[in-house]
C-alpha cells in the first residue's frame, strides 16, 4: 500500500519536473497526474473495507480544443493580411510618395521643361533638357513597371515555396498522427506528441484555412482545405505547384484537383499575384498610355526648329506593354523637338500646348495629375486597411493565445506548490514504511521473548 | 470571475507585448522628428497625403508661373530700354530738323546736319535690332533673324521679321504677349522713313522738305510714347500677377505644412513622455519577472 503511494508520488514529481522543464516551450500544454484511491478490500478482521492505496489513473494534458479552433481561424486570416500588408508597403515604397523623388515629381519636371521650352524655344540647351527630362520620365515609368513585375514574380516563386512548406508540414502531421494512433491503441495518452501535432497544425493554419477533425478514440486527425483532404490519419496528400499558361504557379493536389484557398498567407500571395499587382500594373499602363498618346499627338501637331512637322515624342516596343517599354524616340535630336506651332524658331506655342497636357482630362475624364493622386490615395487606403486588419488580427490571436495559455500554460508557482505537496506526500509515505517496518520488527523479533 | 492563472509564458508574453508597443511608438515619433513629416507612406493617412501631394503640385505650378513672369518681365525691360533709346534718338533728330529748317542755315551746315542724321538712322536700326538673351526683340516669332535691314545705299530700311506674339503662361489659362513686333512699331509706311526723309531733305538742302518732315517725326515720337506706355502697362500687369502668385504660393505652403508638417514642440514632449514610459516599463519588468515561489524555497 505504502509502496504504491511512493511510486505514485514519485511519478507525480516526475510530471511536475517535466512541466517545469517545459515552462518556456512553445506549444507545450501542462500535464497533470490523475490519482485515484485504489480498489478497497474487505478487511481481514471481518468488518469494514480498507483502501488499497493510490492508483495512477493517467497523465493528461490540459487543453481547450475550442480555443485551438478559434486560434487557427484567426491565424489564417492574420496570415493573409500580413502577406498583403507587407506587399502593399513594398508597393507604396515603389511610388515613393510623399517625397520629392516620386514618379509624380519626375513627370512634373517634364511639364516644367516644356514650359521652359515655350519661353526659350531657340535655346539648344533647353531642347536637350526637354529630351533628358522625357528620358527620365520614361526611365522612371519602366523602373516602376519592372519593380511591380519583379514583385509579381517573387510572389509567384513564394507560392511554390509555400506549397513546399505546406507539404513538409502535411508529411510531419501525418507522421505524428500515425504515432499518436499507435500510442492510443496501447491505451496511453501521448501528450507530448499531441502538443507537437497541434503546434504543426497551428503553423499550417497560418498558410491555409484548414479544417481539422480529430477522432477521439483512435487519435487520428483529418486535415482538409475547402474539401481537399491533406492529411487522412497517417496518410499525407501532397500538393504540387505547376506552372500555368502565364508562368504563374497553380496549386493542385497530386490528383490534379485545384486547391481553393480562402484564407491564410497562401491566399494572400495568390491575391497579390492575380489581383492586386495586376491592378496596379493596369493603372500604370492606363496612365502612361494616356500621357504618351496626348504628348505624341500634340508633338506631331507642331514644328521643329527647321520647320519640319514633329515626330513621335515617345515610342514603345511592339509586343510589349507601354509602361514596360516606353522611351523617348531615339531619332529625336534636340533640334527635332516641336516647340513651334507654325514653324518659326522663336515660337513656343506648341511647347506650351505640350505643357498643358498636364491638366487636360485624358484618363477617364481625369487629368493625369488627378488620376495619379487618386491612385496613390487608393493605394494608401488599401495599405491602411491591411495595416488595420493585421493589427486587429494580432490582437485577436494574442487574446486567444493568452486564453490558451491561461488553460495550458505552466505556472511555476503552481508547480512549486504541487512539488511541495507531492514531496510531503512522498515523505509521509516513506514514514509509513518506517512505521510498518517498526511494527514488523515488534512482531518478528520481539514476540515470544516474554520471560526468556 | 475565475482566477487567472499566472503562467511563465503568459507573463513573459504580456510583458514583451507592452514593451514592443512602447518602443514601436518611440520609433514612430523618432522618424517623425528626424524627417519633420507626420506621414511617410500614403497608408499613414491616405486622404491627407493625397491633399498634400495636390498642394505640392500646385506649388510647383505657381513656381513655374513665377519663372515665366520673371522671364516676361526681363524681356519687357529690354524692350523698354530699346524704346527709350529710340525715343532719345528721334528727339535728337527732331532738334536737328528744327535747326535745319531755319531759312538762315547755309548749305554746308545742312550737309553736316545730314551726316549726323545719317548716323542717327544707323544707330536707330541698331537699337531696333536689339537682342535679349541672343534673341531679337522686335522680330516677332522669327527671333533668330535680324529684323531690320538698312539697304546698302541707305535708301530704305526693310523689315525681315514677322508679326506674331511671344506668349508667356502666367496662370491657368492666362497667357500674356511680351513682345512688340515691327508691325507694332511702324504701323504705316516703311520703318524709319521719317528719319530717312529728313536726312535726304537736308542733303538736298531743301528747307521746305526739312520743315515738313517735322510732322512725321512728331508722329513717330508720339507713337513711341504710346508703345512705352503699353510696355509699362504690361509690366505692371505682370508684376501684379507676380505678387498674387507669391501670396498664393505662401498660402499653399502653409496649407501643405498643415497637411503633413509636424508640431515640433508637441512631438518632443510626446517623445520624452514615451521615453519615460519605456523606462518605467523596463523597471517594472525587472520587478515582475523576477519573483516566483522558487526564490523563496530553500
> How many residues are recorded in chain B?
298
Q: Supply the mean pLDDT for chain A.
A: 92
Residue among A109, A203, A209 nearest A165 (CA): A203
- CA A426/CA A446 separation, integer angstroms: 29
DSSP per residue over A270-337, as a string?
HHIIIIIHHHHHHHHHHHHHHHHHHHHHHHHTSB-TTSPBP--SEE--TTS-HHHH-EE-TT--GGG-
Q: What is the mean pLDDT of residues A418-425?
A: 93
Percent of chain A past pLDDT 70, that is, above it, reads: 99
Q: Which of A15-19, A127-131, B157-161, B184-188 has the lowest mean pLDDT?
A: B184-188
CA distances from A430 to A36, A422, A437, B241 (A): 19, 12, 10, 105
Whether the predicted pLDDT of B266 surpasses 60:
yes
pLDDT category of residue B92 using cuts at 50, 70 and 90: very high
Residue among B169, B170, B166 nearest B178 (CA): B166
B66 near A CB under 8 A:
no
Q: How far is A55 from chain B (nearest CA, A)?
A: 28
Residue partners of B265: CB distance under 8 A and separation at least 6: none
Mark yes or no for CB contact B292/A412 under 8 Å: yes
CA distances from A20 to A276, A302, B19 (A): 48, 84, 26
Whether the predicted pLDDT of B261 surpasses 90:
no
Express each pLDDT in B56-81 by its tens digit: 999 999 999 999 999 999 999 999 99
Q: What is the mean pLDDT of residues B254-267?
A: 88
Among B7, B13, B52, the residue with its CB nearest the CB of A98 is B52
- CA A395/CA A387 separation, integer angstroms: 12
Phi and psi torsions of B57, nearest 5°: -60, -45
Mark yes or no for CB contact A349/B167 under 8 Å: yes
pLDDT recorded at residue B288: 79
Q: Which three cell numbers stand for residue A376?
A: 496613390
Residue partners of B14: CB distance under 8 A and separation at least 6: A402
pLDDT recorded at residue A447: 81
Q: Which three cell numbers stand for residue A269?
A: 500571395
Taking residue B61's Cβ as centre, other Cβ atoms within 10 Å add up to 23
Q: What is the mean pLDDT of residues A343-352?
A: 91
Residue that the C-alpha cell 509690366 belongs to: B235
Express each pLDDT in A20-76 by its tens digit: 999 999 999 999 999 999 888 888 777 888 888 899 988 999 999 899 999 999 999
Q: How far is B237 from chain A (nearest CA, A)?
A: 18
- CB-CB neighbors (< 8 A) of A347 in chain B: 141, 164, 166
Q: Which three cell numbers stand for residue B272?
A: 520624452
Cβ–Cβ under 8 Å, residues B97 and B213: yes
Q: Where are the beta strands (DSSP E) in chain B?
A: 131-132, 135-136, 148-150, 157-159, 167-171, 174-177
Express each pLDDT in A304-330 by its tens digit: 999 999 999 999 999 999 999 999 999
- CB-CB neighbors (< 8 A) of A111 in chain B: 64
Q: What is the mean pLDDT of residues B261-278?
A: 90
Q: Which of A46-50, A78-82, A133-137, A194-198 has the lowest mean pLDDT?
A: A46-50
- CB-CB neighbors (< 8 A) of A307 in chain B: none
B182 near A CB under 8 A:
no
Q: Supply the mean pLDDT for chain B.
A: 91
Q: Which three cell numbers stand for residue B171?
A: 496662370
Mark yes or no for CB contact A348/B166 under 8 Å: yes
Q: How far is B60 from chain A (nearest CA, A)?
A: 8
Q: How far is A250 from chain B (nearest CA, A)?
A: 31
User: Looking at domain B51-255, which of 1.20.1330.10, 1.25.40.10, 3.40.190.10, 3.90.110.10 is its CATH number?
Assistant: 1.20.1330.10
pLDDT recorded at residue A99: 79
- CA B68/CA A129 separation, integer angstroms: 17
Among A24, A344, A373, the residue with its CB nearest the CB of B164 is A344
Each domain of chain B, given as residue ranges in start order, spans 8-36+262-296, 51-255
Q: Which three cell numbers stand for residue A102?
A: 516620386
Cβ–Cβ under 8 Å, residues A418 and A18: no
Each domain of chain A, given as residue ranges in start order, spans 2-62+410-446, 68-292+323-334+380-399
Residue among A303, A345, A350 nearest B144 (CA): A345
- Structure-derived torsion over alpha carbons of residues A73, A78, A83, A84, reported in degrees to the nearest 10: 110
Percent of chain A past pLDDT 90, that is, above it, reads: 80
B35 near A CB under 8 A:
no
- CB-CB neighbors (< 8 A) of B142 in chain A: 344-346
Mark yes or no for CB contact A344/B167 under 8 Å: no
- CA A379/CA A83 separation, integer angstroms: 16
- CB-CB neighbors (< 8 A) of B44 in chain A: 380, 384
Dihedral angle sign, alpha carbons of residues B74, B78, B83, B85: positive
Residue partners of B204: CB distance under 8 A and separation at least 6: none
Among B13, B52, B68, the residue with its CB nearest the CB of A115 is B68
- Chosen for mutation from A106, A107, A347 (greatest number of chain B CBs closer than 10 Å) is A347
pLDDT category of residue A345 using cuts at 50, 70 and 90: confident
Residue that the C-alpha cell 512522498 belongs to: A426
Considering only residues 144 to 173 of chain B, which have any Cβ-Cβ distance to chain A shorter than 8 Å?
Answer: 144, 162, 164, 166-169, 172
Burial of A44 (0-12, 13-18, 19+ CB in 10 A): exposed
Q: Where are the beta strands (DSSP E) in A305-445?
A: 314-315, 327-328
Q: What is the mean pLDDT of residues A192-209?
A: 95
Among A93, A401, A406, the residue with its CB nearest the CB of B5 is A406
Residue among A19, A8, A12, A20 nearest A61 (CA): A19
A248 SS3 class? coil
Mark yes or no for CB contact A98/B293 under 8 Å: no
Whether the predicted pLDDT of B2 surpasses 70:
no
Q: Is A337 left (phi over 0), alpha (psi -120 to 50) or beta?
A: beta
Minimum CA–CA partner of B291 in chain A: A413
Q: Which residues pair with A258 in a beta bridge?
A: A252
Whether the predicted pLDDT of A452 surpasses 70:
no
Q: Which three cell numbers stand for residue A180?
A: 499518436
- CB-CB neighbors (< 8 A) of B52 in chain A: 98
- CB-CB neighbors (< 8 A) of B140 in chain A: 344, 346
Q: How far is A135 from chain B (nearest CA, A)?
A: 20
Among A97, A118, A382, the residue with its CB nearest the CB of B169 is A118
DSSP per residue over A16-42, as a string?
HHHHHHTTT-TT---EEEEEEEPPPEE
- CB-CB neighbors (< 8 A) of A420 in chain B: 297
DSSP per residue over A47-70, as a string?
SSEE---EEEEEEEE---HHHHHH
Residue that the C-alpha cell 518681365 belongs to: B73
Mark yes or no for CB contact A369/B57 under 8 Å: yes
pLDDT recorded at residue B272: 92
Angle subtended at Cα A219 by Cα A217 and Cα A223, rounded to the nearest 5 degrees: 125
Give me the total of CB pairs closer than 8 Å, taking one residue from chain A and one from chain B: 162
B136 SS3 class? strand
pLDDT recorded at residue A101: 79
B258 near A CB under 8 A:
no
pLDDT recorded at residue B1: 47
Mark yes or no for CB contact A93/B41 under 8 Å: yes
Mark yes or no for CB contact B46/A378 under 8 Å: yes
B298 near A CB under 8 A:
no
- CA A405/CA A215 separation, integer angstroms: 24
Among A23, A380, A405, the residue with its CB nearest the CB of B49 is A380
Q: Which three cell numbers stand for residue A58?
A: 493517467
Q: Where are the alpha helices (H) located in A96-234, listed in sequence order?
A: 103-119, 124-185, 191-207
Cis peptide bond N-terminal to A98, omega within 30: yes
Residue partners of B232: CB distance under 8 A and separation at least 6: B80
Express each pLDDT in B201-256 by its tens digit: 999 998 889 988 999 999 999 999 999 999 999 999 999 999 999 999 999 999 99
Q: How far is B49 from chain A (nearest CA, A)?
A: 7
Burial of B18 (0-12, 13-18, 19+ CB in 10 A): middle
pLDDT recorded at residue A443: 87
Mark yes or no for CB contact B46/A355 under 8 Å: no
Cβ–Cβ under 8 Å, residues A270 and A159: yes
Q: Which residues pair with A253 in a beta bridge?
A: A239
Among A115, A342, A383, the residue with its CB nearest the CB of B41 is A383
Q: How far is B268 from chain A (nearest CA, A)?
A: 23
Among B46, B56, B293, the residue with its CB nearest the CB of A381 is B46
Q: How far is B3 from chain A (nearest CA, A)?
A: 10
Q: Parallel, antiparallel, or unpaired for β A49-50 and A41-42?
A: antiparallel
pLDDT category of residue A219 using cuts at 50, 70 and 90: confident
Angle subtended at Cα A219 by Cα A213 and Cα A221, rounded to the nearest 5 degrees: 30
A366 SS3 class? strand
Mark yes or no for CB contact B9/A409 under 8 Å: yes
Mark yes or no for CB contact B41/A380 under 8 Å: yes
- CA B19/CA B27 separation, integer angstroms: 12
What's A261's DSSP letter?
-
Amino acid at each position: 500500500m505504502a509502496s504504491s503511494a511512493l511510486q505514485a508520488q514519485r511519478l507525480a514529481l516526475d510530471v511536475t519536473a517535466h512541466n517545469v522543464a517545459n515552462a518556456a516551450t512553445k506549444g507545450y500544454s501542462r500535464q497533470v497526474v490523475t490519482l485515484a484511491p485504489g480498489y478497497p478490500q474487505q478487511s481481514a478482521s471481518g468488518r469494514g473495507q480498507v483502501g488499497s492505496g493510490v492508483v495512477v489513473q493517467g497523465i493528461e494534458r490540459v487543453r481547450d480544443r475550442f480555443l485551438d479552433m478559434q486560434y487557427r481561424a484567426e491565424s489564417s486570416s492574420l496570415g493573409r493580411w500580413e502577406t498583403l500588408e507587407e506587399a502593399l508597403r513594398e508597393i507604396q515604397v515603389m511610388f515613393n510618395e510623399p517625397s520629392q523623388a516620386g514618379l509624380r515629381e519626375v513627370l512634373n519636371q517634364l511639364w516644367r521643361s516644356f514650359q521652359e521650352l515655350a519661353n526659350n524655344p531657340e535655346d539648344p540647351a533647353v531642347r536637350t533638357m526637354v529630351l533628358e527630362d522625357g528620358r527620365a520620365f520614361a526611365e522612371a515609368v519602366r523602373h516602376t513597371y519592372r519593380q511591380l513585375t519583379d514583385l509579381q514574380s517573387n510572389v509567384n516563386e513564394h507560392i511554390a515555396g509555400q506549397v513546399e512548406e505546406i507539404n513538409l508540414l502535411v508529411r510531419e502531421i501525418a507522421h505524428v498522427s500515425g504515432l499518436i494512433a499507435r500510442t492510443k491503441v496501447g491505451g496511453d495518452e501521448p501528450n507530448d506528441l499531441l502538443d507537437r501535432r497541434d503546434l504543426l497544425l497551428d503553423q499550417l493554419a497560418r498558410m491555409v484555412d484548414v479544417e481539422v477533425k480529430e477522432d477521439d478514440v483512435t487519435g487520428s486527425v483529418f486535415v482538409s482545405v475547402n474539401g481537399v483532404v491533406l492529411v487522412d490519419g497517417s496518410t499525407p496528400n501532397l500538393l504540387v505547384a505547376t506552372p500555368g499558361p502565364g508562368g504563374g504557379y497553380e496549386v493542385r493536389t497530386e490528383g490534379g484537383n485545384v486547391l481553393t484557398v480562402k484564407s491564410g498567407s497562401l491566399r494572400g500571395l495568390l491575391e497579390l499575384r492575380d489581383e492586386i499587382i495586376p491592378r496596379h500594373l493596369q493603372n500604370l499602363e492606363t496612365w502612361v498610355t494616356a500621357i504618351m498618346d496626348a504628348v505624341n499627338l500634340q508633338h506631331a501637331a507642331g514644328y521643329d526648329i527647321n520647320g519640319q512637322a514633329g515626330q513621335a515624342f515617345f515610342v514603345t516596343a511592339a509586343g510589349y506593354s507601354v509602361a514596360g517599354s516606353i522611351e523617348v524616340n531615339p531619332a529625336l535630336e534636340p533640334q527635332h523637338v516641336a516647340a513651334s506651332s507654325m514653324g518659326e524658331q522663336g515660337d513656343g506655342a506648341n511647347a506650351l500646348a505640350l505643357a498643358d497636357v498636364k491638366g487636360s482630362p485624358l484618363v477617364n475624364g481625369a487629368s493625369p495629375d488627378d488620376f495619379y493622386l487618386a491612385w496613390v490615395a487608393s493605394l494608401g487606403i488599401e495599405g491602411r486597411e491591411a495595416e488595420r486588419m493585421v493589427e486587429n488580427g494580432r490582437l485577436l490571436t494574442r487574446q486567444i493565445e493568452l486564453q490558451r495559455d491561461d488553460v495550458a500554460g505552466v505556472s511555476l508557482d503552481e508547480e512549486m506548490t504541487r512539488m511541495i505537496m507531492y514531496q510531503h506526500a512522498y515523505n509521509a509515505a516513506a514514514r509509513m514504511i518506517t512505521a510498518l517496518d517498526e511494527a514488523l520488527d515488534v512482531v518478528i523479533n520481539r514476540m515470544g521473548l516474554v520471560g526468556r | 470571475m475565475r482566477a487567472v492563472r499566472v503562467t511563465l509564458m503568459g507573463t513573459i508574453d504580456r510583458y514583451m507585448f507592452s514593451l514592443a508597443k512602447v518602443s514601436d511608438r518611440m520609433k514612430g515619433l523618432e522618424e517623425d522628428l528626424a524627417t519633420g513629416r507626420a506621414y511617410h507612406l500614403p497608408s499613414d493617412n491616405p486622404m491627407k497625403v493625397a491633399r498634400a501631394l495636390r498642394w505640392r503640385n500646385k506649388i510647383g505650378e505657381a513656381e513655374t508661373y513665377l519663372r515665366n513672369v520673371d522671364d516676361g518681365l526681363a524681356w519687357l525691360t529690354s524692350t523698354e530700354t530699346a524704346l527709350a533709346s529710340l525715343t532719345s534718338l528721334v528727339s535728337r533728330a527732331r532738334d536737328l530738323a528744327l535747326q535745319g529748317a531755319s531759312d538762315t542755315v547755309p548749305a554746308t551746315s545742312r550737309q553736316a546736319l545730314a551726316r549726323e542724321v545719317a548716323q542717327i538712322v544707323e544707330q536707330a536700326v541698331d537699337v531696333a535690332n536689339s537682342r535679349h538673351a541672343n534673341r531679337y526683340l522686335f522680330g516677332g516669332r522669327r527671333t533668330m533673324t535680324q529684323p531690320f535691314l538698312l539697304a546698302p545705299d541707305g535708301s530704305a530700311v526693310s523689315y525681315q521679321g514677322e508679326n506674331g506674339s511671344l506668349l508667356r503662361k502666367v496662370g491657368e489659362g492666362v497667357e500674356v504677349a511680351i513682345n512688340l513686333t515691327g508691325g507694332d512699331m511702324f504701323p504705316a509706311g516703311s520703318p524709319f522713313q521719317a528719319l530717312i526723309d529728313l536726312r535726304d531733305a537736308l542733303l538736298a538742302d531743301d528747307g521746305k522738305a526739312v520743315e515738313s518732315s517735322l510732322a512725321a517725326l512728331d508722329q513717330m515720337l508720339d507713337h513711341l510714347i504710346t508703345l512705352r506706355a503699353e510696355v509699362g502697362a504690361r509690366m505692371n500687369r505682370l508684376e501684379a500677377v507676380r505678387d498674387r502668385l507669391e501670396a498664393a504660393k505662401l498660402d499653399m505652403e502653409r496649407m501643405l505644412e498643415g497637411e503633413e508638417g509636424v508640431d515640433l514642440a508637441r512631438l518632443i514632449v510626446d517623445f520624452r513622455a514615451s521615453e519615460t514610459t519605456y523606462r518605467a516599463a523596463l523597471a517594472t519588468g525587472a520587478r515582475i519577472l523576477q519573483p516566483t515561489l522558487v526564490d523563496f524555497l530553500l
